[in-house]
Every structure is written in structure tokens, then in C-alpha cells.
Structure 1
């Protein structure tokens, strides 16, 4: 597949801010097929950069969609319509702003609400290094055998404080006020959601159940407020040990309507308890997500312990082991940059 990427100011750009699937073609002097990045990302020669848009099968928008004006997006859409190809871009940040519908532009994003966005908005996975291999120096996960009661894990920011709840609400109110003054009759206002407060309530539901065992570490701040490298190393190990030593891990949205923990749990070969808050999940036309998670709709959250206990009771021992292996495989082989390009090729 030939890929066109427009030129940018390579001297001023931080490559980490670029759309991750453009980075294999990045060099400090311009887009190239000879980049060291390409081999680092394990991208095959089936994917080649071209500087001639007339030869390209797809147009990759390198910088976050949030940094482009509407007129710039209109121009990109017009160019792609003339060439009869699609442009693919990435919406960064937590909030789920609607950037409009363009016939020839696909917006990948982690945040946003599925029911509120047009079909040209698609879910995108969180990009992660393989922390399992890095921390534990292993290729294969240690699978857990099925015990009588499921062990439910969580390590992270969860706080029942009403003061913190109101602070989180205030953040969303400020964002919605900004949107109101830009365009009052828009439909993409952010619902008020106090993530730390709501997580704590979910964890308490598990703690009150005699059908499960809990393995929870409550943090008052993001990453336990770690400031030094030593503190970050310690809390990171505690975080991944918590996932490793659990059967299931509670995964619910944070400030944005997506869960980084979902992908970290898959990476570790464990089973996410995915609380769906109208999320955009990646490649849901290819991936049957309900085969990889215990799925709980937000409206059913008060029954979450019962849902997980019933799932655990009904799953066969061999299927419990298989699900862990398949989840690690899904993260490693499907949600990588190499395979994201394959999905895009198939989709267009």
C-alpha cells in the first residue's frame, strides 16, 4: 500500500505528537522509507511512503486533527475527493469534540461517544510499549488457573471524596462553557463524569460481595502522585503486579471516555471487566470485543460483582486459560502499529 503524508516543519515538530502510524516513516529531514523507525515498528515493505499523492492509496494526516482549522480539513477532504482516496487522521486528548463529517476523512480517536459521533469516527487503541516483557523479562505470560472465587484487581486513582468529585465536575463544566461560546447549539457537550469517584463506587460494590475476592490498591492521585524516577519505578511495578496477580481487572473510563487500563490488561494476558460508557472501541467491525472482556453496560454497574461472578462460574477451566492467552495475542498481534495499518488497508 502506497501512503502519502504531507510535509510538515520537521525541525520544530516533536515526533511523539505525530499520529503514531506516520512515525515509522519519520526522519528529522522528512518522510522516508529508509527510516530506522520503520524497522523499530516492525513495518513490512508492503507499506511504502510516496511523495506523489496521485500514486497513493491513502492520505495520512500527520498532526492531531485538533491542530487543524476547519478550512484546512475542508481542503484535505477536497484533495482526497479529487484523488478518490481516504484521508486518515487522529483526534488527540481526553475530550470527545465533534470535528464534523467529511466524506473522505476518517477520524481515529480514543475519546468520544459512539452514539454522538458520525460513522467517520472510529476507535483507536492506546499505544503502549510491551511492559510485560520489559518488567518481567519473559515472552510468555504466566496463565492463572481458575479458582473457586474470581480475583478482581484494580490499582489506580479511586476516591469517594465529594470534594474531588466536584473538582472533576468543574473541569467538564469549564470545557462545556468553552464549547457553548464557540457553537451554542452543538450536540457534543461532555457529560459530567467524576472518574475517581465512580471507580471507587464500583470497587466498593465488589468489596461488599461474598462472590469475589478483591485485590485493590486505592490511589489518591494519578500514579500515586509519584514525582521521582524511583517513585515512578516503584508504583509502575506495583501497578503491573496488581494486574498480573488478578484474574479480572476493572476497566472504566478516566477523564476521557476510554480506558488505558483495558489495553494494559490485554497486554498482561488478563481479563478486563470492561464498563461500557458509550465507548468507541478499535476495529469493532473486525474484533468481537465481547470474546475478550467481561462486558458490563454502565446502566448495569450496580450489578457488576454479580455479572463477573456469574461469568467466572460459567466459564470452563480450559476456556479461562485460553482467554488469557488470546487477550495477550490480541494486544501483541492485532493492536500494534503494524496491524493497525493492515486494518486501514482492509477498511479502505
Structure 2
């Protein structure tokens, strides 16, 4: 498949809003393919680009839609999509950030996004994974999953921010309400969000698990996101503690953050562990191809008080061999469909 993107749209000052697949390819002169593979897990041989729009099988909008909104260039983006429509070309774009922005509907525009509410997705919106570095290679210098033996009383892991304070929960809800008001009065382009305290939600799920006799818990509760660390995150001891927590657990609690998605979900899959997925009207990648309810413990938000029961039922249904196989299968699924290269290869093959 030949891909085209308008190079004139690129703005290095907003590189964080560059379409994810283009980051390995828009680099300084002298950047080698070996460096590309080492940094992004992507080779120049994996994807084919053309300089001619007319030759393209699929067109990539260079920057996230948020960029065009922030820089008052929405017309530039919409005109380009309309032009591609006259050439019978599909365009793919990225809705970035925890909340995302409103994107006009075009029947030739494919939208990828981390966040959002599945019930509100149009037929051309799809979930995008959070792309992360391979933790097994990066922190443990291995390609192999640390296989956990089957336990009838499984170990549930979580390392992160949670807060059971009703006062803090009220503050989070009020802040969300104020952001929604800004959207309503056209002071903000960010999409409105459900009135929900996510740190309180996490705390309530963790408390339910801690009170259960059916599971063992392995929790490290932080008062702040990443324990307040803002620099050198990858090498900080709290990051290593986070991955050690995943390594030393069988199942991992994965609840949305500020945006309606969980980066921990993909970190859990990469480590070959089983997510406990609290579904808050979320969308997971390739839900038309992947039987997610066989890969994760699926807990609807309204059933969160039954989370321990759901884990026990899932675990009881597995044999010792099944449990090992699922760990390996989840890691393989991450490698093949949830990494930068794997996701886009799968996506493009489906177009």
C-alpha cells in the first residue's frame, strides 16, 4: 500500500502532534534505518511512501486534527480532505490527547483516537493503542515473558494513582464540569467528558479487591500521577517499580485516566499479563478482529462492585496450561497488533 502525506503541513514546533506513523520517518538528515528500528521498531521497508497524491492508496493527514484547531488552520485540513475526496482518496487522521476535539464528518475520513466514548463513535472512528517502548527489552533485557504459574488465588497488581477522598472526587468532577461548560460556550474545542472522578473510581475498585478473600492484592498506591515525577521518567525508580509490579502480578487493574483510555492496559499486554478492564464506554483496537473478552477480565462499569467475582470466574475457567498460554498470547498480540508497526500493518491490510 502506497501512502502519501502533505509535507508542507509539517510543523516541527508541534512535533508532538505529528501523525504517529510519520514520527519514525520525518527525522533529521542522517537518521539511519537501524536507528529507526531501534527507536520505533519500524523499518523503512515496512511502509511505502509516494511523493504523488494521485499514486496513493491511502492519504495521511500529516498533523493531528488538534494541531489544525490550535493553529486556526481547520480550513486547511478540511480543504485538503475535500480535495482528496474529489480524487476518490481516503484520508486518515489522528485525534490526539486525553479529550480529543470535534472533527467534522467526511465519508472519506478515517479517524484514529486514544480517547472518546465508543457509543458516540461514528462508523469511521477507530481506537488507537497507546504506543510504548517494549518494557521487556528496555527494563529486563529480554524478549521472553516472565511466566507466572497458575494460582487458584491469583495475585492482582496495580501501581499508580488512586484517591478515595470524597473531597478530591468532588474537585475532579467540578473541574470536568467547568471544562464542559467551556466547550458549551465555545471557549474550548475539547470534547465534553463524563462527570466522573477517575482517581476515586480506581480507589473503589482497588478497595473491592482488597476486601475479597478470592484474590491476593499487590498494590502500590500513589498520591500523584507517576508519583509526581516529571523528568527522566523512563529511568526513574518509580517506573521500574511500576513494571516490577506488573511482572510480579497475574492480573492487573486497568481503569481509565483523565481521558477515557488506559495506557496501563497496553503496558500490561506488553508484559504478558492479563488486564482487568473496567469498561467505561471505551473502545479497544480491532474489536472486530480480537475477542477481547477472552484476553482480559471484562468488567462493565456498572458491575465494578463485582470485580473480584469476575476475576475469580475468569481464573477458575483456566487450566494451568491455559493460564501460561494466555500470558504468551497477550504478549504476542501486543507485538503483532498493538505496537506502532503491528497496528498500522494490521490497519492497512484491513482497508
8 Å CA contact retained: 1:24, 1:37: no
Structure 2 residue corresponding to 1:294, chosen from 294, 297, 322:
297
Is 1:119 the equivalent of 2:123?
Answer: yes
Give SS of 2:158's match: strand
State the 1:232 CA deviation: 5.8
- Which residue pairs with 1:224 in the alignment? 227
Give runs of ≥4 in structure 1 deviating > 3 Å: 8-17, 32-41, 227-232
The runs of 5 or more residues in structure 2 that have no matched partner are none
8 Å CA contact retained: 1:151, 1:214: yes
Give SS of 2:8's match: coil
My pick for the range that moved more, 201-210 or 133-142, is 133-142
Give SS of 1:122's match: strand
My pick for the range that moved more, 260-269 or 168-177, is 168-177
Structure 1 distance, partners of 2:49, 2:25, is: 7
- Which residue pairs with 2:51 in the alignment? 51
- Which residue pairs with 1:279 in the alignment? 282
Aligned in 2, Cα 1:258/1:82: closer, same or farther, shift over 3 Å? same
Is 1:318 the equivalent of 2:321?
Answer: yes
State the 1:46 CA deviation: 5.4
State the 1:28 CA deviation: 3.6
1:40-189 counterparts in 2 under 5 A?
40=38, 41-43=41-43, 45=45, 47-68=47-68, 69-182=73-186, 189=192
Structure 1 residue corresponding to 2:309, chosen from 296, 306, 311:
306
Structure 2 distance, partners of 1:321, 1:36, is: 33
Structure 1 distance, partners of 2:174, 2:104, is: 26
Aligned in 2, Cα 1:33/1:12: closer, same or farther, shift over 3 Å? closer
8 Å CA contact retained: 1:2, 1:55: yes
Give SS of 2:107's match: coil
- Which residue pairs with 2:241 in the alignment? 238
Give SS of 1:24's match: coil
Is 1:22 the equivalent of 2:22?
Answer: yes
State the 1:34 CA deviation: 7.6
Is 1:205 the equivalent of 2:199?
Answer: no
The runs of 5 or more residues in structure 1 that have no matched partner are none
Aligned length: 345
Structure 2 distance, partners of 1:50, 1:11, is: 20
* 1:215-237: CA deviation from partner (whole Å, max 9, x where unpaired): 11111101111356499621011
- Which residue pairs with 1:249 in the alignment? 252
Aligned in 2, Cα 1:99/1:14: closer, same or farther, shift over 3 Å? closer
Please give the TM-score of this superposition, normalised by the length of structure 1. Answer: 0.92
Structure 2 distance, partners of 1:281, 1:230, is: 26
Aligned in 2, Cα 1:248/1:98: closer, same or farther, shift over 3 Å? same
8 Å CA contact retained: 1:6, 1:61: yes
RMSD (Å), alpha carbons = 2.5
8 Å CA contact retained: 1:25, 1:37: no
